[in-house]
Amino acid sequence: MRIGIIGNEPAGPILAKAWASAGHELVAAAVDSQDAIERIETLLPELRIDSMAATVEDSELVILAVPQNDVRIVCEGLADLGLFGPKKIVLHISPLAGHGILDSAALSGAVPIALHPVMHFSGTSVDLLVLKNTTVAVSAPELLLPIAQALAIELGAEPIVVREDQRAAYAEAFEVASGFSSLVVQQAIGILSEAGVDEAARLIGPVVRSAVDAALATPINPLDPRDLL
């Protein structure tokens, strides 16, 4: 399958490189920031940088690596140009929306997929190792879910289906877990650093990981409203 990247988000070239390792062909990237251009040159030096229209036209799988607020606008703009059709897969990577945000592509016959690896991307080759040990939230029309799941498996990750009506809750949970864990870890590292402890991050790392594993393994107890009074 021929793959093209639209947008400057660091996840774009990482996913593309992972799919290339699974046997797919990379055709082009439409990027315009200096950081994104340098990222492409480092990770995918043979990949040509081209316009959005040319990239989509040459691709069978289009990765919309753009900020959440731009996904619908970019998709609609490309659809208005008549660049989508039954032989295209259009995929966005934001945790905040499902496949419905790609309706303009679906109306043209394209396969709409929301695929979000549950991780933070640095835009470096280290992400490729992390990707193989993560899960991927996938959303797509029911009959097309096997395509989304297969794409996640080709990344070396585990697909978990998040229905369209569950997507808002997933997005909230991701933001809460991400923001809270980062704050707590940084606070713990700060306490050790202020005390002059060397290599604070390495010292605190094992307890953070074990605490997270323990929390994930603990059954959920519903909150009693009386406990909030």
User: Could you report the per-residue pLDDT of 191-213, keeping only the tens digit for each?
Assistant: 878 888 778 777 666 666 666 56
3 membership: H or E segment, kind and range: strand 2-6
- Residue 229 pLDDT greater than 50, yes or no: no
Interatomic CA distance for residues 59 and 36, integer angstroms: 19
Interatomic CA distance for residues 58 and 53, integer angstroms: 9
Give the single-character DSSP code of 105: H
Average pLDDT over residues 6-19: 96
- Residue 7 pLDDT greater than 60, yes or no: yes
Q: Confirm or reject CATH 3.10.180.10 for domain 2-162, answering yes or no.
A: no
Report pLDDT for 41: 95
Instruction: Calculate the alpha carbon distances from 226 to 7, 171, 219, 220, 221 in Å.
Output: 48, 28, 20, 17, 14
pTM for the structure as a whole? 0.81
